[in-house]
Chain A
Amino acid sequence: MEQFSGKIWVLGDDIDTDIIMPTEYLALKTIDDMRPYAFSPLRPELAGRICPGDIIVAGKNFGCGSSREQAPEVIKALGIRCVIASSYARIFFRNAINNGLLLIENSEIQKAVKEGDEIEVHVGEYILHDGVKYPVSSLPQNLLDILDAGGLVKAMQRLNGIV
């Protein structure tokens, strides 16, 4: 299974989609245009400090709020390798999978980590932090199929016989 390590940014519970990408920037033309404003209502400095390969660790109900797909897209555009949260809001969860952003559910690691820590992620198996392994479960098959195709657009392209 795939594995990687990265530096973490720690966020709290109920990180909503208005925090991830405020409505006032939603009509900007591209995700790259929106990128500097990610998380700005909560932590205006964050978007400028996240480096490719970093990981977000958050509490429960991550991505609650609106259906805006720019939320997972902008997190991906910032270079975030994966999000680890206690739980996710359902629309955000679907949108993330459809855009190929890896989401991991774990509600134990939040108690142990602090911002800036390094963690090691073994996809579908466990997360390693400070010598402790936190088990994670695998996704259902229909979602793995979409991820395998490289997101929903590619899955549909396959359906239409253009890849």
Chain B
Amino acid sequence: MGKTLIEKIIARNLHDENVKAGDIVTVDVDRVMIHDIFIPFVADKFKEMGFKKIWDTDKVVLIYDHLVPASQTDDTRHFRAGDAFAEEFGPIHVHRSDGICHQLMPELGYVKPGDVVFGTDSHTVTYGCVGAFSTGIGYTEMAGILGTGKLWIRVPQTIRVNINGKLPENVSAKDIILTVIGDLRADGATYQSLEFAGDTVDALSVAGRMTISNMTVEAGAKCGLFVPDDKTAAYCGLGGTLPEELAQLRPDEDAVYSRVMEYRAEDFVPVMACPSQVDSIRPVAELAPEEISVDQVFLGSCTNGRLEDLRSAASVLKDRHIAPFVKMIVTPASRSIYEAAAKEGILDILSEAGAMITHPSCGLCCGRAGGILTDDEVVVATNNRNFLGRMGTSKVRIYLASPLTAAVCALEGKITVPAAYKE
């Protein structure tokens, strides 16, 4: 019987060809990521468990991003706890102000195709974009991995998502994943792996695949995987073509799926996740006649804070100005994206259009940085969650959208279909 991609990855990790969905197995961990919010708890649990050393210090990456720079008086306690832990049990990799964890892990080469990676954050599923099995866990389990290098998992079943054809010009990876989540619903892929395939997916950049993998957890998925290809190899610094050994990381023709979903790329339209559920998906064209006024636009996060996202917003904001009452906040996902966007002139375009550019970090996505809102205000945001209270009071209305849609909404000051600005 054929194997799915997740079965292939786990079989490779265990050196056991007999692995199949439903098995409970203990994997060897290739890399872990811990962020600033949870490091004090990980450190406490690690010591409480009685461990004296980390199983493999080179495999541990600590990233400060949610609380950077500190916005509340007690936040720096997290940085001190992290630095103390690194000092006592390191040397581990520490990034103190380089950007969002889920951007940095693939960008800096900490994750390679076929790796098994865990992080103390639900959006750890992002690294499925390069064909790695990665998922979120709590800080107690992280402490256990730091001591043992191992974790038990149940090998998930797989939902296959086939997408073929050419996407309309005003549709991006964000619209794809929002649409899929709307069809699956918020628990439709719980405990399962999502495997994306088809020529539309092949044509996506690694950045676009990242957007899709990132949000698979919003349908409850354990991971969201793409078959590694030459683009993946180039992105991961493995040369121009995928090394022979990694070419085995593809599902078999006769792999068994719990469900197969088929999409025609031409059928996708710009969509939004409406307040306050990520699976409450509606076409922007259906919302536009409601004349929904927009108070703020947020462009950033591990979902959509990459260079092509900023570029996409700049394409409609060039030589134009956002509506006078709209605050637009742009937060590049990493320092290198910030620098590349500056070099390309994108930051100038966005600033001249009236946007505020902030330091690379999680920023407004987790409701901890500048830009939080109050009752009845509307924000169009490119991040991954629109839960109650995520960006201020529980009566803030958060609409999730693609960077292109978000930029057009900023220009018009109301929810607007991006097609109007297609060049």
List chain A positions with a Cβ less than 8 A from chain B.
14, 16, 18-19, 22-24, 26-29, 40-42, 60-61, 64-69, 87-91, 94-95, 98-99, 140, 142, 151-153, 156-157, 159-162
Contact = CB atoms under 8 A, between A and B. Distances in A.
B187 A60 contact: yes
B67 A27 contact: yes
The 7 A-B pairs of least Cβ separation, nearest first, read A160-B50, A41-B389, A69-B138, A61-B187, A156-B49, A95-B138, A67-B136
Contacts of A68: 37-38, 138
Given A41-B389, A153-B140, A24 B367 contact: yes
A61 B121 contact: no
Interface in B211-246: 220, 222
A94 B389 contact: no
Contacts of B122: 65-67, 91
Given A22-B389, A41-B389, A87 B67 contact: no
A28 B366 CA distance: 15
A24 B389 CA distance: 9
B87 interface: no
B149 interface: no
A156 to B, nearest CB: 4
B55 interface: no
A26 B220 CA distance: 22
Contact of A23 (B50, B137, B144, B390): B390
A64 B186 contact: yes
B405 interface: no
Given A24-B368, A95-B140, A156 B388 contact: no
A72 to B, nearest CB: 8
A22 B389 CA distance: 7
A64 B220 contact: yes
Interface residues of B, number: 49
Interface string B55-99: 000000000001100001011011000000000000000000000
B49 A160 contact: yes
B290 interface: no
Given A14-B186, A69-B138, A98-B141, A27 B72 contact: yes
6 contacts: A22-B389, A40-B389, A67-B124, A151-B140, A157-B50, A159-B49
A94 B138 contact: yes
B325 interface: no
B216 to A, nearest CB: 12
Contact of B186 (A24, A61, A69, A99): A61
A41 B391 CA distance: 11
Interface centre among A29, A41, A69, A159 (most CB of B within 10 A): A69
A87 B137 CA distance: 18
Contacts of B366: 23
B110 interface: no
A94 B141 contact: yes
Interface in B83-126: 119-122, 124
A91 B387 contact: no
A65 B387 contact: yes
Given A27-B67, A99-B140, A162-B50, A67 B388 contact: no
A97 B222 CA distance: 17
Contact of B387 (A18, A40, A89): A18
B136 A91 contact: yes
A69 B140 contact: yes
A89 B187 contact: yes
Given A61-B186, A65-B385, A87-B187, A156 B147 contact: yes
Interface string B382-406: 0001011110001000000000000
Contacts of B41: 69
B267 interface: no
B48 interface: yes
A156 B51 contact: yes
Interface string B35-59: 0011001000100111100000000
B304 interface: no
Contacts of A90: 190-191, 220, 222
A60 B190 CA distance: 11
A21 to B, nearest CB: 11
A87 B186 CA distance: 12
Contacts of A14: 186-187, 277
Nearest to A69: B138
B401 to A, nearest CB: 19
A19 B388 contact: yes
Contact of A61 (B135, B190, B388, B390): B190
